[in-house]
């Protein structure tokens, strides 16, 4: 229910998928940079991922071909999520 509500608000990609493997073309840097906003509670972790120069998306997982894995598409503040928890 939580992921569906975040999807309906435009914060996550489609949540009803079993796919857990990102394509090699997935732009990890852009996604992580979006999450690095200074007011995000996870900004420090996002910064560490960028500094570590992650090579790209994880290579494990399964692609069921229906939708890509659940991915943040824009930053959600804790206030925007407060009614979803």
Choose the catalytic residue: 7, 14, 22, 64. 14
| Backbone torsion region of residue 19, taken as left when φ is above 0, otherwise alpha when ψ lies between -120 and 50, otherwise beta | beta
Annotated catalytic, 64?
Answer: no
Cα–Cα distance, 83 to 68 (Å, whole number): 26
**Could you give the residue numbers annotated as active site?**
14
């Amino acid at each position: 229910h939580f992921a569906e509500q975040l999807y309906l608000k435009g914060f996550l990609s489609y949540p009803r998928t079993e796919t857990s493997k990102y394509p090699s073309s997935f732009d990890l840097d852009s996604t992580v940079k979006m999450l690095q906003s200074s007011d995000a509670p996870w900004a420090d972790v996002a910064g560490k991922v960028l500094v570590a120069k992650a090579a790209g998306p994880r290579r494990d997982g399964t692609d069921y071909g229906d939708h890509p894995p659940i991915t943040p598409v824009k930053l959600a503040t804790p206030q925007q999520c407060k009614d979803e928890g």
